Amino acid sequence: MSAAAKLAEVDAKTADLTTIRTALAAGRDDLTVRASSTCCPIPFTDLAEENRHAGPCC
């Protein structure tokens, strides 16, 4: 894996963590409940996709 590809993967994961931190800061501490809510503006189902950041794990 090239350094540029690895950096892109790390940046994507950092963006996911930022999304979750934003939700927690907004008082959404029960992420499981929020993930199943149709009015939830945070894309938890997208974050949970198994192959979201396809590629080797290491």
Q: Domain for residue 54, yes or no?
A: no
pLDDT band at 30, cuts 50/70/90? confident
Averaged pLDDT for residues 34-58: 60
Give yes or no for a contact between 26 and 45, defined as CB atoms under 8 angstroms apart. no
Mean pLDDT, to the nearest integer, of 28-47? 66
Q: Give the pair of three-digit tokens for residue 28.
A: 């959404």
Dist CA 28 CA 50 (whole Å): 23
Cβ-proximal residues to 21 (8 Å cutoff; 6+ apart), any chain: none
Indicate the pTM of the whole model.
0.55
57, part of any domain: no
- Residue ranges making up the domain that contains 26: 14-47
Number of domains in the chain: 1
Tell whether the model's pLDDT for residue 1 goes beyond 60.
Answer: yes
